[in-house]
Amino acid sequence: MTAATNPMRRPKAALIDLAGVLHVGDQAIDGAVAALARLRAADLPLRFLTNTTRTPRRKIVEKLRRMGFDIDEDEVQTAAQAALQLVRERGLHPLYLVHPDLAAEVGPSAAQPDAVVLGDMGPFLDYRQLNAAFRLLMDGKPFIAMAKNRYFMEEDGLSLDMGAFVTGLEFSSGRDAEIVGKPAAAFFHTALATLRVAPADAVVIGDDLHDDVGAALAAGIPAILVRTGKYRAGDDADPAIRPDLVVDDFARAVELLLARNPS
């Protein structure tokens, strides 16, 4: 997977992953706050795309601001919101398996659910709830997953992400989940539509080889892989996924982008 990109032209918009790119846990990544300020000063339209579903959007933005990032809530697009939009569009009444912190954002599960919506339950993972979801899937109900990430970077190391439980339910039920966050092309395209920028004119910056970079390239968007967050040695040598650029961190990505001529 590779997208055509002109290394001499500055992109017209940047879609930026949050965890692992701007911060790890409660710590801003070195130089990221200043780099974001430089992008702002250059007037580059931005959207922040996150598959983090343990936390509602408002709290994600509050945390980023405490670290010093200049980010507006409207600029952040979460996988949880994408799931809720799909639920509304289709008139579904789901069983929600989500972290308690996200419960208020998604609302209560239906008494007689006609769909399963899975988020990242984190330490609140619960067999009884997974089994209730499994039984609905065996009964043919739609299966919507906010994300399918393999792992993410926490302050004390890589941690298991919700993709494990999406895959597990898929295996046992024989059903495929519809993923609404990254790597779904629609998730990127929705963000670009709000900015009125074509995929080939934008850039994605992320630390996840599969769900940021590979997904962006598949959606026709040039992509930069940063060597922070969940990046692991060898990610930049995957024969199937070739980022347009691989850089040490977000600050270096911004430096290289702003060195290009505006189109």
Q: Which residues bind its own copies (CB under 8 A)?
A: 121-128, 130-131, 134-135, 138, 150-151, 157-161, 163-174
Among 51, 42, 37, 58, which Cα is nearest to 191's? 51
Distance of CA 209 to the CA centre of its chain: 12
164 or 186: whose CB is closer to its own copies?
Answer: 164
Among 202, 207, 208, 205, which Cα is nearest to 221's? 202
CB atoms within 10 A of CB 19: 21
Rounded Cα distance, 75 and 263, in Å: 23
100 or 107: whose CB is closer to its own copies?
Answer: 100
Contact in structure between 250 and 205 (CB atoms under 8 Å): yes
138 or 256: whose CB is closer to its own copies?
Answer: 138
59 or 135: whose CB is closer to its own copies?
Answer: 135
Kindly calculate the radius of gyration of the chain based on its CA atoms and give it in whole angstroms.
18
Rounded Cα distance, 47 and 18, in Å: 10
150 or 227: whose CB is closer to its own copies?
Answer: 150
121 or 257: whose CB is closer to its own copies?
Answer: 121
Contact in structure between 245 and 225 (CB atoms under 8 Å): yes
Q: Which residues contact 163 (CB under 8 A, 6 or more apart)?
A: 147, 148, 149, 150, 151
114 or 170: whose CB is closer to its own copies?
Answer: 170
Give how far Cα 232 sits from Cα of 151, 205, 212, 226, 258, Å. 11, 16, 14, 10, 26
- The DSSP secondary structure of 81-145, one letter per residue, reads HHHHHHHHHHT--EEEE--HHHHHHH-PPPSS-SEEEE---GGG--HHHHHHHHHHHHTT--EEE
